[in-house]
Chain A
Amino acid sequence: MPLLAARDLHLALPDRSARPLFGRPPLTPILKGIDLVLEPGESLGIVGESGSGKTSLGHALLRLLEPTGGTLLFEGRDITHLPEPQLRPLREGMQFIFQDPLSSLNPRHRVEDILAQPLLAFLRVKTRKEARIRARELLERVHLPAAFATRYPHELSGGQRQRVGIARAIALKPRVIVADEIVSGLDVSTQAQILLLLKELKREDALIFISHDLSVVRVLCDRVLVLQQGAVVEQGPCGQIFARPQHPYTRALLSAIPLPDPETGWIDRDDLPVEVRP
């Protein structure tokens, strides 16, 4: 049984910029019929440019947004329109790592309280003291010194904050983690460390890794799904897609990546298909 499955998933969000004087703002379609399957222990890369709907897809898959159509199954159970109170017990099996740790870690809480929160909410620990000990263990798992437990998020560097975000996500030992652009703001050396950490951790959990960076997805994921304007243009095993991309958009994305090899011809080559021209 797949861990997570989406069939013909649709999502529309209110367009606040077009809000009329009275009544509800009109809905803009964001996702237009997404099909995907995630098996246990698998890692799936979701790739797309800004406006492709990749972050919204991540939110919809973990029911941070309610789909407007299609079905969404988590461990075989239909959670498409499950109300939040019934969803809450399932949340410990699905965790999200946010793009910007500075805004996803509450600035008023210390690191140990941030890490203790999920443990206490799902009664994995009984006392605060126990939670603090577990928080230090979690810090160790993401290779941060235990002394960071008493710091505030803004006292850490970008890479360290992202590790705290990862530690919070793995605290409940979820079945699936969705990581949204979690290395995009980082330097290459920090990025490499985080990617290696994720590789180390993903042996246990299934991972959905959302990114605009195909190179990073290639390094980390088993399968890849290419998203363009809310629709899947191509998906399959990384080896296959990267070696023989079938869709022109995928080919355009790949050829637009400047590889670190000196090559004077690349910059003059205009190989973007007409339909993806900005």
Chain B
Amino acid sequence: MKVSVRFSFGLAVLLTLAVLALSAPWVAPHDPLEQDLLNTFQPPAWFETGSRAFALGTDSLGRDILSRLIYGARAAITVAAVAAVLAALLGSILGLLSGYLGGVVDAIISRLVEIWMAFPPVLLSIVLAAVLGAGLHTVVIAIVVIDWTRFCRVVRAEVMVQRSRDYVASAVTIGLPPMRILASEIVPNVVPLFVTLLSLEMGIAIVVEAILSFAGLSVANDTATWGSMIQEGRQYVRQAWWLMALPMGCIIVSVLAMNALGDGLRELVDPLSRSARR
């Protein structure tokens, strides 16, 4: 099967990130927390004053940026995978039931979503952080709690469109029970949309983690995340712009990769868009 360039790009970037995150203790040249106060604000190695020992330079405490970026990928990947998948599953299941069953179930779920969406998300995450304490698990929970509504609404709308299609009626005429119809007729038609949304959500999750880190609501300061690196780098942006630019670059590339992967995956699972490309 022909695979698009975008898909290969997305897959390559994400696989690299995953491998780096998993093998961080072995591939990182330094301990990400190890301070070297004699070598603070080292620029990346390709600068004239750069040093071979720190390929991407050091921060205000002389910690190795490359190592911190690699450890930061761990947080990013965890959040992207766990939070996005949980939010997607929770929202989609509620959306499926809401759209397919209609009636009272739909009314309850829809009102819940509306009330939920009226609640300011930042406030919600601050409250959560206060209750649960800062940490990666708080970020994951905050993303799930805030973003399930997005899946719920979109999936519900799509299910309602699909439910009115004749192939659902024809599944009734051949005697399939309701849950079988949901599983064999409707779900496969919602999957491409789900995949697209999920890939977008993974990108959003990485960004949200960075924002929460930036606001100091994510992990404790001794763990390296891209968000906390941006937050620290911000103070020294005049002396050492790369402190901020490098983690930002990481975020941009991984979000792009996730979206590309999502588009590619949708083409793979969707016979319709496959032939449209031909």
Query: Which residues from chain A sit less than 8 Å from chain B, CB to CB?
Result: 59, 62, 64, 84-85, 88-89, 91-92, 94-96, 98-100, 103-109, 117-118, 121-122, 152, 154-155, 168, 172
How does the 8 Å CB contact mask read for B150-187 relative to A, with 1 for contact and 0 for none? 00000000000000011101111111110010001100
Decide: A91 near B175, CB < 8 A? Known: A108-B188, A108-B271. Answer: yes
Q: Flag if A154 contacts B167 (CB, 8 Å).
A: no
Q: How many residues of B contact A (CB 8 A)?
A: 22
Q: Flag if B175 contacts A100 (CB, 8 Å).
A: no
Q: Which residues of A lie under 8 Å from residue B172 when comparing CB positions?
A: 64, 84, 91
Q: Is the interface of B mostly helix, strand, loop or mixed?
A: helix
Residue of A nearest to B176 (CB): A121
20 pairs across A/B with beta carbons < 8 Å? Answer: A62-B173, A64-B169, A64-B172, A64-B173, A85-B177, A92-B175, A94-B173, A98-B166, A98-B170, A103-B166, A103-B167, A104-B166, A106-B167, A106-B188, A107-B189, A107-B271, A108-B189, A109-B188, A117-B184, A118-B174
Q: Is B272 an interface residue (CB 8 A)?
A: yes
Report the Cα distance A150→B167, complex, angstroms: 18
Q: Which residues of B lie under 8 Å from residue A117 when comparing CB positions?
A: 171, 174, 176, 184
Minimal beta-carbon separation of A266 from chain B (angstroms): 36
Q: Which of A91, A104, A107, A108 has the most CB of B within 10 A?
A: A108
Q: Flag if A121 contacts B173 (CB, 8 Å).
A: no
Residue of A nearest to B185 (CB): A106
Report the Cα distance A107→B162, complex, angstroms: 11
Q: Flag if A96 contacts B275 (CB, 8 Å).
A: no
Residue of B nearest to A96 (CB): B173
Q: Flag if A154 contacts B272 (CB, 8 Å).
A: yes
Q: Flag if A152 contacts B188 (CB, 8 Å).
A: no
Report the Cα distance A85→B176, complex, angstroms: 10
Q: Flag if B173 contacts A91 (CB, 8 Å).
A: yes
* A-B contact sample (16 more), CB < 8 A, given A104-B165, A117-B176: A64-B173, A85-B177, A99-B166, A104-B169, A106-B188, A106-B189, A107-B271, A108-B189, A109-B188, A117-B171, A122-B174, A122-B175, A152-B272, A154-B271, A154-B275, A168-B174
Q: Flag if B170 contacts A168 (CB, 8 Å).
A: yes
Q: Flag if A91 contacts B174 (CB, 8 Å).
A: yes
Report the Cα distance A168→B175, complex, angstroms: 13
Q: Which residues of A lie under 8 Å from residue B170 when comparing CB positions?
A: 96, 98, 104, 168
Residue of B nearest to A119 (CB): B174
Q: Which of B167, B172, B271 has the most CB of A within 10 A?
A: B167
Report the Cα distance A155→B270, complex, angstroms: 13
Q: Which residues of A lie under 8 Å from residue B166 when comparing CB positions?
A: 98-100, 103-104
Minimal beta-carbon separation of A227 from chain B (angstroms): 20
> Which of chain B's residues 252-278 have a Cβ closer than 8 Å to chain A?
270-272, 275
Q: Which residues of A lie under 8 Å from residue B180 when comparing CB positions?
A: 121
How does the 8 Å CB contact mask read for B97-122 relative to A, with 1 for contact and 0 for none? 00000000000000000000000000
Report the Cα distance A99→B170, complex, angstroms: 11
Q: Flag if B175 contacts A121 (CB, 8 Å).
A: yes
Q: Which residues of B lie under 8 Å from residue A99 when comparing CB positions?
A: 166
Q: Flag if B169 contacts A96 (CB, 8 Å).
A: yes
Q: Flag if B173 contacts A95 (CB, 8 Å).
A: yes
Residue of B nearest to A174 (CB): B173
Report the Cα distance A92→B188, complex, angstroms: 25
Decide: A88 near B175, CB < 8 A? Known: A103-B166, A168-B170. Answer: yes
Report the Cα distance A91→B185, complex, angstroms: 18
Q: Flag if A103 contacts B165 (CB, 8 Å).
A: yes
The 5 closest A-B pairs by CB, nearest first: A104-B166, A118-B174, A108-B188, A91-B175, A98-B166
Residue of A nearest to B164 (CB): A103
Minimal beta-carbon separation of A110 from chain B (angstroms): 8
Q: Which of B175, B188, B191 has the most CB of A within 10 A?
A: B175
Decide: A105 near B271, CB < 8 A? Known: A91-B173, A122-B174, A122-B175. Answer: no
Report the Cα distance A104→B167, complex, angstroms: 4
Report the Cα distance A92→B174, complex, angstroms: 6
Minimal beta-carbon separation of B129 from chain A (angstroms): 39
